[in-house]
Amino acid sequence: MPSTVPTIRLNSGTDIPQLGFGVFLVDPSQTQPIVEQALEVGYRHIDTATGYNNEAQVGAAIRASGIPREDVFVTTKLRNDHHLQGDVRGAYQRSLDALGLGYIDLYLIHWPLPKVDRYVETWRAFEGFLAEGATKAIGVSNFKIEHLERLARESDTVPALNQVENHPRTQQRELRAYEGAHGIAPEAWAPLGQGRFALDGFAAIREAAAAHAKSPAQVILRWHIQEGIVAIPKASSRAHMEANFDIFDFALTDSEMDAIRALDTGRNLAVDPDDINS
């Protein structure tokens, strides 16, 4: 059955499903069964990272599912200590081996670590992985405009995607405008805010949910889809997986979209990427 999830064409030419499934803070012992359930629900985009310590379980779940490898989009990320040590190629190979899927669809620098000042060097190594064909696309996570501008000056490849905190209270409008002008796809971690605000605490969200007979979480995820943002919500129960996936049978109106846009605080609620340097 064809997926109902829309895709975004990355600048490398590969397509990423706009709704994915994240495994941040999913215990390794629970990751394989949880990812297997997500795949059964219909997710075809799984987001992990070396730092989550569950890459092997993600790969095992995909292999156990029987779904053709080319039908599942897999993202993983370079852990900060490997970035610090300059062990980029070794880290990449370990992720490839742990996943056991033959290739990585999207490989990201997890944090720029600006005070360490090695992300350009790391990015050049990423360019090599892309040229070798062992990953379909390379990108970054938690990069600000100044970090992206430096990559543009000092390397030859524009990141395919930038994964950052993004939800109705942190909308990253200036960053998204820059990304849009330079062919960088926006992706949201914490698309539902990671508990930093009550999903039903704002009239704009409550009223849209009531109008469409949907939950506040479904409205927020639908808002991401209509904004053109890739979203990777996490869910531990099948009921939540199914609810998060059930967002393609309605559309928010222009006025509803504008009301949610008005909730932006203009700042990060979780962490400023400049403060992460280890």
User: H/E/C letters for each residue in 20-46?
Assistant: CEECCCCCHHHHHHHHHHHHHHCCCEE
What pLDDT does residue 180 have? Answer: 98
Dihedral sign (CA 18, 145, 165, 104):
positive
Put simply, whether the predicted model's pTM sits higher than 0.85 gets the answer yes
The parent domain of residue 156 ranges over 16-198+229-249
| Nearest partner of 184 among 150, 160, 155, 163, judged by Cα | 160
The packing angle between helices 216-227 and 238-245, to 10°, is 40
| Domain contains 254 | no
Tens-place pLDDT, residues 201-235: 999 999 999 999 999 999 999 999 999 999 999 99
The packing angle between helices 254-261 and 203-212, to 10°, is 150
Does residue 52 have an active-site annotation? Answer: yes
| Joined tokens for residue 244 | 């998060």
3 pLDDT band, cuts 50/70/90, is low
| Domain contains 275 | no
What pLDDT does residue 2 have? Answer: 47
| Nearest partner of 23 among 1, 53, 44, judged by Cα | 53
User: What mean pLDDT comes out for the span 245-263?
Assistant: 98
| Domain contains 151 | yes
Counting Cβ atoms within 10 Å, is residue 255 exposed (0-12), middle (13-18) or buried (19+)? exposed
Please tell me which residue in 43, 52, 107, 119 is annotated as part of the active site: 52
Whether residue 137 is predicted with pLDDT greater than 90 in this model: the reply is: yes
Q: Coil, strand, or helix at residue 131?
A: helix
| Joined tokens for residue 221 | 């995820």
Identify the H or E element spanning 164: strand 161-165
| Dist. CA 124–CA 12, nearest whole Å | 16
| Domain contains 20 | yes
| Domain contains 278 | no
Contact yes or no for 44/71 (Cβ under 8 A): yes
Average pLDDT value for the chain: 96
| Domain contains 141 | yes
| Number of structural domains found in the chain | 1
| Domain contains 214 | no
| Domain contains 11 | no
CATH number of the domain that 160 lies in?
A: 3.20.20.100
| Joined tokens for residue 166 | 């993004």
Tens-place pLDDT, residues 61-118: 999 999 999 999 999 999 998 877 778 999 999 999 999 999 999 999 999 999 999 9
